[in-house]
Chains A and B, each alone.
Chain A
């Protein structure tokens, strides 16, 4: 039957907020002013029902008379100068469709075979075709997942012919043929290809495509972490593998809270009352670079599933997001070919994190955004998640022979096939009739009900082992779960989104919102019942065997039969060479400002790496779960940032969790060791500044690095040295981590852009009484303000101040970690003694930004005095991490409170809303805080139109 079309739009007099937002973007992001109005309509396509039924569904479901109008099978925006409809490409999952089908069934409409929804945009004004195309390509249509509908589709149904299982004659391939096979889709090196060929020669047969693909994904950099596991020769000296060094430093720290480190989908520490906390931070750079909305969504969804799949299952209690982009106003001509504009990426990534976290009901309440021109070729997208579970369920489970292999959640489609092996950023092929892009649009509701069901199953002790289906899909999930005993999977039992998947595609598909479980046979029925009660599809697709083999069947045909031992231990060890590069940029220092202090301060506050990120935070629900006790922004007007988030995740209990992070890509480009120490110090400082006990904190690492050539590998080695040195000096271990080594862009002409190396250090821990935690806003007029911690203000390399003055120095802030440990111990003691009224750590923007933000929070001014032997600009703008601004209570004696660390009285707060700076008692300058506030708020307001 024909496809019926229903169009719905707001009553003309009510305005159109979607259209208004788009118009704002057209004007600000594209600078196109000849469009004077945009109207939008929603288009629903319904296949298999009559026009009468479509009209019925329009009235009962799709349209609301109070504020809307609708049409059936005719246009609704009729007078626009151009009308464009944008829809998802066929095969890209549109999460709304399931709801349309469900509600239609609830309303008694039978026969609805398929549905879709899309948006129509009516543009008004006198504009050229070129301008319209610019709007479409830059703001509305991402060709990876979307298309402009020119002609009404004849059908919405997707069908295809299932491919068969191919045999790959690898035993008879010479080196050249082996590498040709690898280049096409496997991304393995010659030695690895030879090892595979040798294995099959030994067992006397050729592999199936399933087997080759399984090996390729298990041995991929993404899953196998080959660089982190390889032996290193650094400047001629042999060093242990990076991963081993990180894990050994954790083992040596022997932290009493750690329950599970580097073993599971996330790291776990003890909480209170027999509970445990877990944390995981992931990157999703490649998918987000090509489809930022879907990429960010599936990044969030994936890291949430890591938490859901930790131990016997955890509940997600927080989400974090850290991004790096090129400046949003980068001229289009500076964007490398094939890359999306950073302004578009930025807005769409934020929208993706928003829509997934909000819909899952997970508060997103810690994060940051960093800008650097060299992210123009690829953004860095980091998403974290934290969870809570009974400590008794915190250990990773091991399946027993006879346990049932069960899959839960979303159906399997051609989504993201080769996501694990696809690391070079190029898509080599697409399937014929279905868009098998590496990126999907996430379905948060699928994952929410999955989580609801899993938590009940965990509490009823139905789960022996659990993991999520991420990169590598079933192959990775069951390959790993069955590693020690073997597993047998019946692929034809997997529920599919549509027909037409070859066995290897089902096996490797990275469709979202799926979990893999090992369930004792006697508990299967109860698990299936819980899933039914929660509208979650659950299917037993195999069993754990004890054979030590990975056996996969499609019908009665065996499509994969690999020794687990070869799969997991057959990968040849690599040795990699790292060499130091020379920095050859000349030092150039700025002159100290003479008269224009106000202008310099304003420019500092307006800098993208300093300015307020409030408009982003406001679109995230950071209050859901009723757990937030220190929000990202607070203070008198709710506009002053705090350093970390504090949650009380068990309602009614006063113990809490703290989450913070630190990163500085700019410093890493100059000195990866100092930059990495800075990141770890900043992460911990953020947590301690809000009142966390340094003894109760652990760390998570994320290395996002250019492709490891000799120079980048040297930098990476230094960064890992920094991490292990930090652990040794502070006793805070890394308990989870991730590396992504593909931040290199190669253009068609061979030129290379190395994206700045990023080490993001996340820090989380427990707080025994959240009512002792501290916010950053100044509390009292005439409050005494101190600088606590050690810094060498000449270390200005990599600072915001050097950026705005076009200066350079290799002398970046190098934190003395031992002294830092002393500083935070003393600061924490001050906090618990009740002497600290407010506290904020120093980071980008230096003392100026930290003090100004505390003033914004308290709605008061400040007057400080710089000791005469200091260069005033360096004093104000130095960005050494591990230093704090502290407001003490009137009774507290600083000599007593900070006897174990360095401190300096800076000045006092004032009622007058000025930032006043004296040096040696003489006034240097004053600047109105209102001006600083406005400058600090402006950049993100412009991007988001808030």
Chain B
């Protein structure tokens, strides 16, 4: 049985179709579920094994990016969300989805309703779309198993992606090994604070984090935009054994098959 993947949509969601494509390519069975369907009860999170909140501009990113959707999730779907996570089901938030995960409090510590980290406006002051290199940490994150230490390239496309948390919380995130992706210098292959390799000024070059269980992952770059070799801007001059984004989706699907 293919694991069922719930891709959450609402007003202004985009990147939903390409996220679904990536999961399908990795062996998932996707449904695009509008938040209204969850609120009305015609759809239930419980019927799914994986949940993804795709990138885009939910509700225009008004007030703060992802904020209006976060308020809606914590106001109306708190119990469903809590249960989904405590059932050990993987949750992925990409770009706007990452912003939603921190603004609901699911990241970093699964405290629905308490915001402990944030994604601020880019230091550059503007939206930025470019390919970046990312260094993967060795973690218990189920999405990136076997990828620790390697360098991948994804595209970023956001105006609010500067990861920020208080010094103390940041230390805790680091110490509990929750940092999964860091922006890196492609030549030196080391994490960097240097623009544009670090496109937004994220503290500790953080591009993505997971919760303590490793099952909730949020990241600003877009892995779903590199699931065919020809997605890479330089596929005409470089060869890839596999597009860098696909393993993330495959790991989630395989995890669900094995554990759920």
Please report A residues at the B interface, Cβ cutoff 8 Å: 10, 14-15, 17-18, 20-21, 60-62, 64-67, 95-96, 99-100, 102-103, 106-108, 354, 358-361, 443-445, 448-449, 452, 533-535, 617-629, 631, 633-636, 638, 648, 651-652, 654, 770-771, 773-775, 777, 779, 858, 944-946
The one of B63, B76, B222 that contacts A623, using a Cβ cutoff of 8 Å? B222
Q: Beyond A448-B14, A626-B224, A774-B236, is A67–B120 a contact (Cβ under 8 Å)?
A: yes
> How far is it, in angstroms, between the C-alpha of A448 and the C-alpha of B118 when the chains are bound?
26
Tell me, in angstroms, the Cα distance from A67 to B155 when the chains sit together. 26
Contact status B62-A17, CB under 8 Å: no
- Could you pull out 14 A-B pairs where Cβ atoms are within 8 angstroms? A17-B124, A96-B60, A99-B68, A358-B157, A359-B12, A445-B59, A534-B36, A619-B129, A620-B127, A622-B129, A628-B231, A654-B230, A773-B236, A775-B237
Q: Is B123 an interface residue, CB under 8 A from the partner?
A: yes
**CA A650 – CA B123 in complex, angstroms?**
35
* A623, B36: Cβ atoms closer than 8 Å: no
A620: B residues at CB distance < 8 A:
127, 129
B166 x A66 contact (CB < 8 A):
yes
Q: Is the CB of A361 within 8 A of B115?
A: no
Q: Verify A103–B14 contact, CB threshold 8 A.
A: no
Q: Does B233 contact A (CB under 8 A)?
A: yes
**Partner-contacting stretch, out of B15-23, B80-88, B177-185, B249-257:** B15-23
Complex contact A66–B115 (CB within 8 A): yes
| Residue B218 at the chain A interface, CB threshold 8 Å | no
User: Which one of A64, A452, A533, A628 lies within 8 Å of B118 (CB-CB)?
Assistant: A64
Q: How far is the CB of B226 from chain A (nearest CB, A)?
A: 9
The residue in chain A whose Cβ has the minimal distance to the Cβ of B200 is A17
Contact B15 A624 (CB under 8 A): yes
- Please report the C-alpha to C-alpha distance between residue A779 and residue B238 in the assembled complex, in whole angstroms: 10
In the complex, the chain B residue whose C-beta lies closest to that of A361 is B14
A18-B121, A107-B71 known; A64+B234 contact, CB < 8 A: no
A66 touching B228, Cβ below 8 Å: no
CB-CB nearest in chain B for A617: B129
Q: Known contacts being A96-B62, A106-B75, A636-B234, is A619 close to B128, with CB within 8 Å? A: yes
Q: Is B34 an interface residue (CB 8 A)?
A: yes
B34 touches A621 (CB 8 A): no
- Whether B127 pairs with A66 at a CB distance below 8 angstroms is no
Interface residues of B in 194-248 (CB under 8 A from A): 222, 224-225, 227-228, 230-231, 233-237
Is B165 an interface position by the 8 A CB rule?
yes
- Additional 10 contacts, C-beta under 8 A, given A445-B57, A623-B129: A96-B63, A99-B59, A100-B63, A102-B68, A359-B61, A444-B12, A620-B129, A638-B131, A652-B228, A774-B236
Q: Which of B11, B64, B116 contacts A449 (CB 8 A)?
A: B11
> Which chain B residues numbered 49 to 65 have a C-beta less than 8 Å away from chain A?
55-57, 59-64
Contact B67 A626 (CB under 8 A): no
Contact between A445 and B12 (Cβ–Cβ < 8 Å)?
yes
The count of chain B contact residues (Cβ–Cβ below 8 Å) is 63
Assuming A66-B117, A359-B57, is B231 touching A17 (CB within 8 A)? Answer: no
Q: A64-B115, A103-B68 are in contact. Are A624 and B14 (CB under 8 A)?
A: yes
User: Which residue of B15, B123, B155 is within 8 Å of A361 (Cβ)?
Assistant: B15
Known: A618-B130, A629-B230. A443 touches B224 (CB 8 A): no
Which chain B positions have C-beta within 8 A of A18? Answer: 121, 125
Q: How far is the CA of A795 from the CA of B18 in the complex (A)?
A: 48
Task: Tell which of B62, B122, B129 touches A100, judged by Cβ atoms closer than 8 Å.
Answer: B62
Give the distance to chain B from A564, nearest Cβ to Cβ, in Å. 37
B209 CB to nearest chain A CB (Å) = 14
Cα A627 to Cα B63 in complex, Å, equals: 30
Of the candidates B17, B18, B60, B127, the one having the most CB atoms from chain A within 10 angstroms of its own CB is B60
How far, in angstroms, from A850 to B9 measured CA to CA in the complex? 44
Q: What's the minimum C-beta distance from B130 to chain A, rounded to whole angstroms? A: 6
- Residue of chain A at shortest CB distance from B155: A623
Q: How far is the CB of A916 from chain B (nearest CB, A)?
A: 23
Chain A residue numbers with a CB within 8 Å of B124 are: 17, 946
With A445-B11, A771-B230 known as contacts, the answer to whether A64 contacts B236 (CB < 8 A) is: no
Among all A-B residue pairs, the 4 with the closest Cβ atoms: A361-B14, A626-B18, A99-B62, A21-B125
B60 near A444 (CB under 8 angstroms)?
A: yes
Q: Hey, which chain A residues are within 8 Å of B67, CB to CB?
A: 61, 103
Please tell me if the beta carbons of A779 and B237 are within 8 angstroms of each other in the complex. Answer: yes
Among A103, A534, A620, A636, the most chain B Cβ lie within 10 Å of the Cβ of: A103
- In angstroms, Cα B158 to Cα A359, docked, is 11
- The residues of B that contact A946 with a CB separation of less than 8 Å are 124
Q: Is the CB of A354 within 8 A of B127?
A: yes
**Chain A residues with CB under 8 A of B225:** 623, 626
Whether the pair A449, B12 counts as a contact (CB closer than 8 A) is yes
Question: Any chain A CB within 8 A of the CB of B2?
Answer: no
| Interface residue B176 (Cβ < 8 Å from any Cβ of A) | no
By CB atoms of chain B within 10 A, which of A448, A626, A629, A779 has the most? A626
Residues in chain A near residue B48, CB distance under 8 A: none
> Is there a chain A Cβ closer than 8 Å to B174's Cβ?
no
What is the chain A residue whose CB lies nearest that of B64?
Answer: A64
Contact assessment for A777 and B237 in the assembled complex, using a CB-CB cutoff below 8 Å: yes
| A788 CA / B34 CA spacing, docked (Å) | 53
CA distance A634 to B68 in the complex (A): 35
B109 interface contact, C-beta 8 A = no
Chain A residue nearest in CB terms to B160 = A17
Judging by beta carbons under 8 Å apart, are B233 and A533 in contact? Answer: no
Q: How far is the CA of A622 from the CA of B222 in the complex (A)?
A: 12
Would you call B25 an interface residue if the criterion is a C-beta within 8 Å of the partner chain's C-beta atoms? yes
Report yes or no: B36 in contact with A65, Cβ–Cβ below 8 A: no
Q: When the two chains form their complex, are residues A533 and B36 in contact, meaning their CB atoms are under 8 A apart?
A: yes
Q: Is B37 an interface residue (CB 8 A)?
A: yes
Closest to B237 in A: A779
Q: Which B residues between 78 and 129 are near A, CB-CB below 8 angstroms?
A: 103, 115-118, 120-129
Compute how far the CA of A449 lies from the CA of B12 in the bound complex, rounded to whole angstroms. Answer: 6
By the criterion CB–CB under 8 Å, are B37 and A634 in contact? no
- Within 8 Å of chain A (Cβ to Cβ): is B72? yes
From A60, which residue of chain B is reached at the shortest CB distance? B71
Residues of B contacting A619 in the complex (Cβ-Cβ under 8 angstroms): 126-129
Query: Do A66 and B116 form a contact, CB below 8 Å, given A60-B71, A623-B222?
Result: yes
Q: Which residues of A contact B21 (CB under 8 A)?
A: 626, 651-652
A336 to B120, CA, bound (A): 40
Contact A634 B166, CB 8 Å, known A67-B120, A96-B60, A619-B129 = no
- Most B-side CB within 10 Å, residue of A21, A60, A623, A779: A623
Tell me, rounded to whole Å, the shortest Cβ–Cβ distance linking A650 to chain B. 10
Q: In the assembly, what is the distance between CA of A409 and CA of B233, in Å?
A: 37
Q: Are A621 and B127 in contact (CB under 8 A)?
A: yes
**How long is the Cα–Cα vector from A624 to B129 in the complex, in angstroms?**
10
Distance in angstroms from B44 CB to nearest chain A CB is: 17
Alpha-carbon distance A619/B225, docked complex (angstroms): 17
Determine the distance from Cα of A624 to Cα of B60 in the docked complex, in whole angstroms.
Answer: 15
If A17-B123, A102-B68, A770-B230 touch, whether A779 touches B236 (CB-CB below 8 Å) is yes
* Complex-state Cα separation, A448 to B12, whole angstroms: 6
**Once bound together, how far apart are the Cα atoms of A654 and B230, in whole Å?**
9
- Nearest CB of B to A108, in Å: 8
A106–B34 CB distance below 8 A? no
A361 to B60, CA, bound (A): 11
What residues on B are CB-neighbors of A445 within 8 Å?
11-12, 57, 59-60
CB-CB contacts below 8 Å: B179-193 with A: none
Interface-centre pick from A354, A360, A621, A633 (highest chain B CB count, 10 A) = A621
CA A67 to CA B167, docked complex, whole Å: 12
Determine the chain A residues whose CB is within 8 A of the CB of B15 once the complex forms. Answer: 361, 624-626
Contacts of A21 in B (CB 8 A): 125-126
| B231:A629 contact, CB within 8 angstroms | yes
| Complex contacts, A360 vs chain B, CB 8 Å | 14
Bound together, the chains give a CA A636 to CA B232 distance in angstroms of 12
CB pair A20 B125 closer than 8 Å: yes
Would you call B233 and A631 a contact (CB within 8 A)? Answer: yes
Q: How far is the CA of A620 from the CA of B129 in the complex (A)?
A: 6
Q: Does A99 lie within 8 Å of B63, measured CB to CB?
A: yes
Min Cβ gap B102→A in Å is 9
